[in-house]
Amino acid sequence: MKKEENIEISNVVKQYLPFEEEVAAIDRQIEDLRQQDSQPLQQGKNDAQIRTLQVRQTELLKRIYSSLTPWQTVQVSRHPQRPILSDYLNRMFKDVRELHGDRCFGDDRAIVTAMGQIGHQKVMIIGQSKGKTIKEKVACNFGCPNPEGYRKALAKMKLAEKYGLPIVALIDTPGAYPGIGAEERGQAQAIAVNLMEMSRLRTPIVCVIIGEGGSGGALGIGVGDKIAILEHAYYSVISPEGCAAILWHDGTQAPQAAEALKLTGKDLLKLGLVDSIIPEPLGGAHRNNHDAIYNVEQFLIRTLAQFKRINMDALLKTRYEKLRRIGADCVKAVSLSAAAERTIPQNLSLKAQLEKTQAEQIAF
């Protein structure tokens, strides 16, 4: 790591989530003790106390992060110090060459497409960028892509297919951009076309949800042979706030919506919507960007190596079958529920007739 990067990291002010108040208090105590040690004649005096506090903090983080609620998981996935696409491009890939434009309308900065190398494998990188500074965030629509972004992604994926490059998709978006201009330029169609085309691209596709995986915005680059999710990321048909606004007309019900949406990695793995959960460092990726990125890198290297041994026709068949299985269990459950409901009116009618007969007897 460069000297400038070390200086930048040391100057970053830690930000804490609402459920991390005790962790923040311990950090403040450790910082106070270190400042005392930096004074003359005080070198190393508080080392033992600092080590005790660090052990206590580690135990506290283990307890908190082993039992996060779905809403707390959403909050972790949105942490401002969590690594974003630019961090992965800088630290995980080599020889990155960004490709621009959709050859139709413009260059959407919310989706980045690039050629690069991971391990010994050259790949096509498709990722959603949120930006770090305010200027970058505005340019990227805070990670919400426009239709031209999805068309750019598809054009570059077809280029990867042409030259036999595997595709690595890094997903991190609250959802597709909902503006009028985006709708006028065919937002829904752009996402739908990507879903169709990605399902039959003759090249391996690996998707990793590194932060937020919201709605069709995530699905637009989310069809793959392997789909993985970071331990404290989420993947959902809609954001918890959007769900709460629709169902209860009240955004404060977002924690309840997050519980119902089954959006955590553990729930998604049980439902068969993701294939793997990539572990994060203790306390979340925002506490240790280096190790979080390393874990994703190792997963991608292993997965891409496995794909080299699979015939392309077999890979496409497996991808198709995987897509067809999504929701199959839900359809069975709905069918059983509908069959049960069909018997209820008959039972109710018999009960009504019995009550009517009893009433007539009483009246007589």
Q: Spell out the domain ranges in the chain.
A: 14-67, 76-310
Place of tokens 């962790």: 23
- What's the 3-state SS for 163-208? CCCCEEEEEEECCCCCCHHHHHCCHHHHHHHHHHHHCCCCCCEEEE
Place of tokens 């937020």: 212
Question: Is residue 58 left, alpha or beta, with left meaning phi > 0 and alpha meaning psi from -120 to 50?
Answer: alpha
* pLDDT of 217 over the 70 cut: yes
For range 193-221, the mean pLDDT:
94
Average pLDDT value for the chain: 87
Cα–Cα dist 80/63, whole Å: 22
For range 318-347, the mean pLDDT:
70
Chain centroid to Cα 323, Å, comes to 19
CATH of the domain spanning 76-310: 3.90.226.10
* 79 contact partners, CB below 8 Å, separation of at least 6: 15, 17, 284, 285, 286
* pLDDT of 66 over the 60 cut: yes
Tell me the two tokens of residue 256: 């309840």
* pLDDT of 41 over the 60 cut: no
Q: Quickly list DSSP for 14-60.
A: P---GGGHHHHHHHHHHHHHHHHHTSTT-TTTTHHHHHHHHHHHHHH
